[in-house]
Structure 1
Amino acid sequence: MNSEFTNRIMEAGVVGAGGAGFPTYVKLAAKAEYIIVNAAECEPLIRVDQELLLHHTNDILEGLTGIIQETGAKKGYVAIKAKHTEVIDCLKEQLKDSENIELFLLEDFYPAGDEQITVYEVLKRVVPKGGIPLNVGCIVCNVETILNVYNAARGKTVTTTYVTITGDVKTPATFCLPIGMSYKEALALCGIETLTGKVGIDGGPMMGKIIFDFELPITKTTKAIILLDQNSSLIENKTKGNEQVLKQSKIACIQCQKCTDLCPRDLLGHNVKPHLVMRIANYGLSDFLGMKTALGCSECGACELYACPNGLSPRKVNIMIKKELIAAGISIDKGGEQKSISEMIEYRKIPVKRLIERLGLKEYDRCAPLKSFAYNVKKVVIPLKQHIGTLAKPVVEKEMMVDEGMLIGEIENGKMGACIHASISGMITEVSNESITIEAREDRI
C-alpha cells in the first residue's frame, strides 16, 4: 500500500526525468540504505542538472530530505563532477549543517551518469548483472526528478520539463518548457527559423534518439535538443541502417577487442562482450553464450563512438542480437556467476573532453544558462506514454476546456504507469489512443 508521500508522487505523474522514465512512486515505495542524486550529467553538452542545482538548490535538497525520510535511508549523496565548482560551492553552503546529505565528487569521465557506474563510484558496490541499485541497498534519482518530487509533495503536477537547447544554435540555453511543445517551437526560442539540412538529437549525443520530424513533441524525459548538420559525422554514424552496419562490420572488424576493453558494464564484471557478438555476426558462428552477453549491453555507445578504431558499430550489432533474443523469450541470466571487477576499471574511464573532440562537438561545448520565455505556446500534443509501463487512459473528451495541471490521462486498473496532465490551459481538440492535443485559450496567449 502506498503512503501519502508516494501517492502524491503518483498523482503528480512524476517519472525519471531522463532515460526511460521509470515511474518514481514505484521506486520510492521501497526501503533503502542510501539515496544517490545522479548529477553526473556525463553526456556532452547537456546543462540541465547544473542549472537546476544553481537555481533551485533549496527545493532539490528539501526533496532529497523527504525521500530520505520516506525510504528510511541513513544517508543521501549528491554525485556531481568536481569540475562544476560554482554549483559545488553553492551546495556546500547549503549543506554545511546537514548531517545526512553529502557531496560526492566524480571525475570527468563517460559514462559516470550510468546509474550502475554511479553506484559503484559512490558506494563501491556492484549492482548485479540484470539488477537494479536497490539490489545493493540504494535508490538513484536524477536532479530534475528530485525537484519534481519536491513539487509533487506540495500538490504540483508534472507539466513541464527542463531542456538544454544547443548544438548549431547561436545562443544555447536551458528552458523550462511545457510538455507536448514541438521541437520546432522549442528551437525557435534560440533563434532557429529554418531547419533545412538539419537533424536533431533528443538527449545526449551518445544515447539520444535522432529527431527527423521537428513537429513531434517533447516529453517528460526530454533533457536536450542538440541541433546538428545532417552531414555531420556524428549524425551519419547514428543514422546508419542495420544492413550497412553489418556489411561494414564484416569488411572492417579486425577483432582487436577494444570495444570490450572499454565496455563499462564488462569492467564492472557483467560479462558483456561486444567483440564476441561482432565475431558471431561477422562469421555466422553458433556461439549461444557469446550472443547472450548482448543482453547486458546498456547501449551507452562507448564501443561505437569512442573505442572502435575503424568506426564500426558494436552497439548496434548488440542491439540487433538483443532484440532477437528477447523476441525468442530469452532473458538475461540474473543468477549467473558474477565476474570480478576488472583491475583496469579505474584506467579505462573515457575522458569527456576527449570524447567531445572525438564526436566533433568541441565548438558546441558551451554554457547554456537557464532562461525564461514568454509562455505563449499555442498548441501542445501530449503523448499518453512517456514512461516505462502502460499507456495512460484518457479521462477527457474533445472540446472540453482544461486548465494547466489538470489530469487528462490516468493509470488504468492499478497497472504501473504514470498520470498525464495538461501542460497549458485551453481546449482539447483531439483525443487518440496515443496522445491528447490541447490548443490554448485566446486569453492565455
Structure 2
Amino acid sequence: MNPELINSIIAAGVVGAGGAGFPTHVKLGAQAEYIIINAAECEPLIRVDQELLTHYTADILEGLNKIVQETGAVKGFIAIKEKHQDVIKRLNEAIGNDQGIEVFPLKDFYPAGDEQITVYEVLKKAVPKGGIPLNVGCIVCNVETVLNVNRACQGKPVTTTFVTITGEVNRPATYCLPIGMSYKKALELCGVDTLEGKVGIDGGPMMGKLITDFDAPITKTTKAIILLNVDSLLIQEKTKKMEQVLKQSRIACIQCQKCTDLCPRDLLGHDVKPHIVMRIANYGLSDFSGMKTALGCSECGACELYACPNGLSPRRVNIMIKQEMAKAGIKIDKAVEPKQPSAMIDYRKIPVKRLIERIGIKKYDVKAPLQKFDQPVERVVVPLKQHLGTAATAVVEKGMMVSEGTLIGKIANGNLGANVHASISGIIQEISSESITIEAQGGKV
C-alpha cells in the first residue's frame, strides 16, 4: 500500500462524487481483485460521465491505473453503455495495448448504474444482500471520483463538481462549478430567469432528491440539476404525501407482483419482495413480521415509476418501513444463505427509452455538452458535511482571507469523513456548525 496516495486523497477531501459521498481514502484502503469505474450513468438525462470521459480521458485512465496499483487489483474495467460508441472508441484508442484496463460495454437498461448491478454485469458475481462489492473482491468508483484521485496526486483539492443542468432550461449543459454555489445561480447559467411554477431535482429523475430551496448550495455529490414544471407527472409522484401513498395502496394494490418481478435487487437474488411489504402495510400491522424484506431495497424507484400498473409507490412504503426498523435497531440478517440470481435477470431489464417515455421526460432527453465556466462567483456557502460520516470542523475564522483550495474544514483523525476546501478566493463571512460562507472581495451577498 502506498501511504502517499492515500494521504493525498485525504488531504484533497476526495469522496464518492455521486450517491452518499463515501470517503474515498477508506474505500481505497482495501485490497481488491478488480476495480470498476461505474460510467453506466443509468439515470436518464445526466451527461457528466460521458463528458468527463471525452474531455479528461488521459487523466481518468491515469487515475484508474493508480487505483489499480494501490489496491493490488489485477484489472480495471470501465463499465459504460455500448450506445456511447464515440466515447468507447476514444477510450480504446487511449488504452491501446494496456492489458490492465478494459472497456466493458453495458446494455441500455435501468438501473445499470446500481453498483451491485454493475458488478454483476461485469463480473457475473452477485454481491450478497446487505453487502458491498468488496465482498466479491471488487471496488467500484465513480468517474469523477477517479478524476479527483488523479488530481489529488497533483496536490489539487476538491473545490468543484461537474453538474448537468437540464429540463425546463433554455440551454441544457454540463458545467464544472464551484462547490457552494447556489442551485439558482447554476440554473441562471442555462438561461433560467424565473423559478415560478418550477421544481428542481438534485440528481437523476428516478433517485434524485427534490430541491426545497433554490438558494441552497451544490455539493461534492451534486451531479445534476433537473428543472421541471410543478404539474409534471414525475413531480406529482415525488411530492405525494405518505398518507396519500398508503391510502392509494389500500385502495388499488391488486397484488399483481409486478413490483417484485421487476425489482433489480430481487432479480439479483436479494429476496426483496415489495408486493409483500405492500400487502402487510395495507393491513396496517404494527409489527415488522415479514417486513425485513424491505431492508434490501435500493430505492431505485423501478417499482413505483415503471412496474406498478396502478401508479402506486412500493418504494415509498419500503423507505418508511426501513426508517421504522432503523429506529427499532432491526438490521439485515447477513447470516441468511444467499440466493442465486434469478434465471430471468437478463430478461427483465428496464429499457431506458421506455422508462423515459413512462415518466414523461422524453422531450428533455437531449445533449448537455460540457461548457466552460468563466464567470465570477461572488459568494459560496460550503457545507461542512458533504459526505458520509461526521461533519468537518472549521479551521478558519470569520474575517480571514482565503484562496481557492485553502483547507477550511478538517476531519478529526480517526473519524469517517472528508476535508473541505474553499472553492473561491475571498473573505470568510460566516461560520456555522453546518457551513462556511465565503464572499469574494467586492462581491455582493
For this structure pair, what is the TM-score category when the shorter chain's length is used for normalisation? over 0.9
- Structure 2 equivalent of residue 398 of structure 1: 398
* 1:144 aligned partner, one-letter code: E
Give secondary structure in 2 for the equivalent of 1:175.
strand
Give secondary structure in 2 for the equivalent of 1:341.
coil
- Structure 2 equivalent of residue 212 of structure 1: 212
C-alpha RMSD of the superposition? 1.4
Higher mean alpha-carbon deviation, 425-434 vs 410-419, is at 410-419
- Displacement of 1:2 after TM fit? 7.5
- Structure 2 equivalent of residue 186 of structure 1: 186
Q: CA deviation digits over 1:104-160, x for unaligned, max 9?
A: 000000000000000000000010110000000010001000000000011000000
- Displacement of 1:373 after TM fit? 2.1
- Displacement of 1:443 after TM fit? 9.0
The answer (yes or no) to whether the contact 1:33–1:74 under 8 Å persists in 2 is yes
* 2:375 aligned partner, one-letter code: Y
- Structure 2 equivalent of residue 342 of structure 1: 342
Q: CA deviation digits over 1:176-214, x for unaligned, max 9?
A: 000000000000000101100000000000000001310
- Tell me the distance in 1 between the aligned counterparts of 2:153 and 2:335: 38
- Tell me the distance in 2 between the aligned counterparts of 1:186 and 1:64: 30
* 1:12 aligned partner, one-letter code: A
- Structure 1 equivalent of residue 130 of structure 2: 130
The answer (yes or no) to whether the contact 1:280–1:286 under 8 Å persists in 2 is no
- Structure 1 equivalent of residue 306 of structure 2: 306
- Structure 2 equivalent of residue 316 of structure 1: 316
Q: CA deviation digits over 1:40-61, x for unaligned, max 9?
A: 0000000000000000000000
- Structure 1 equivalent of residue 387 of structure 2: 387
- Displacement of 1:286 after TM fit? 6.6
The answer (yes or no) to whether the contact 2:2–2:70 under 8 Å persists in 1 is no
The answer (yes or no) to whether the contact 1:180–1:218 under 8 Å persists in 2 is yes
* 1:30 aligned partner, one-letter code: A
Give secondary structure in 2 for the equivalent of 1:371.
coil
- Structure 2 equivalent of residue 442 of structure 1: 442
Matched, 1:59 2:89: no
- Displacement of 1:82 after TM fit? 0.2
- Tell me the distance in 1 between the aligned counterparts of 2:368 and 2:110: 20
- Tell me the distance in 1 between the aligned counterparts of 2:395 and 2:358: 48
- Tell me the distance in 1 between the aligned counterparts of 2:287 and 2:437: 49
Matched, 1:150 2:150: yes
- Structure 2 equivalent of residue 90 of structure 1: 90
The answer (yes or no) to whether the contact 2:378–2:443 under 8 Å persists in 1 is no
Matched, 1:371 2:363: no
Give secondary structure in 2 for the equivalent of 1:442.
coil
- Structure 2 equivalent of residue 418 of structure 1: 418
* 2:123 aligned partner, one-letter code: L
Gaps of 5+ in 2: none
- Structure 1 equivalent of residue 103 of structure 2: 103
Give secondary structure in 2 for the equivalent of 1:220.
coil
- Displacement of 1:441 after TM fit? 1.8
Q: CA deviation digits over 1:297-332, x for unaligned, max 9?
A: 000000010000010100000000000001000111
**Counterpart mapping for 1:150-169 below 5 A:** 150-169=150-169
Matched, 1:244 2:244: yes
- Structure 1 equivalent of residue 232 of structure 2: 232
**Counterpart mapping for 1:15-54 below 5 A:** 15-54=15-54
- Tell me the distance in 2 between the aligned counterparts of 1:273 and 1:444: 53
Give secondary structure in 2 for the equivalent of 1:317.
helix
* 1:193 aligned partner, one-letter code: D
The answer (yes or no) to whether the contact 2:126–2:268 under 8 Å persists in 1 is yes
- Displacement of 1:287 after TM fit? 7.2
Give secondary structure in 1 for the equivalent of 2:295.
helix
**Would the alpha carbon gap of residues 286 and 397 (structure 1) be closer, same or farther in structure 2, given more than 3 Å must change?**
closer
The answer (yes or no) to whether the contact 2:288–2:325 under 8 Å persists in 1 is no
Q: Percent identity?
A: 74
- Tell me the distance in 2 between the aligned counterparts of 1:282 and 1:265: 23
* 1:64 aligned partner, one-letter code: L
**Would the alpha carbon gap of residues 444 and 9 (structure 1) be closer, same or farther in structure 2, given more than 3 Å must change?**
farther
**Would the alpha carbon gap of residues 289 and 135 (structure 1) be closer, same or farther in structure 2, given more than 3 Å must change?**
farther
**Would the alpha carbon gap of residues 443 and 339 (structure 1) be closer, same or farther in structure 2, given more than 3 Å must change?**
closer
- Structure 2 equivalent of residue 117 of structure 1: 117
- Displacement of 1:284 after TM fit? 2.5
Higher mean alpha-carbon deviation, 407-416 vs 22-31, is at 407-416
- Tell me the distance in 2 between the aligned counterparts of 1:25 and 1:438: 27
Q: CA deviation digits over 1:329-385, x for unaligned, max 9?
A: 011111112112111100000000000000100000000000012231100001111
Give secondary structure in 1 for the equivalent of 2:270.
coil
- Tell me the distance in 2 between the aligned counterparts of 1:357 and 1:443: 44
- Tell me the distance in 1 between the aligned counterparts of 2:190 and 2:376: 15
Give secondary structure in 2 for the equivalent of 1:370.
coil
- Tell me the distance in 2 between the aligned counterparts of 1:17 and 1:444: 29
- Tell me the distance in 2 between the aligned counterparts of 1:272 and 1:407: 43
The answer (yes or no) to whether the contact 1:157–1:421 under 8 Å persists in 2 is yes
The answer (yes or no) to whether the contact 1:280–1:287 under 8 Å persists in 2 is no
When normalised by structure 2's length, the TM-score is 0.98
The answer (yes or no) to whether the contact 2:379–2:444 under 8 Å persists in 1 is no
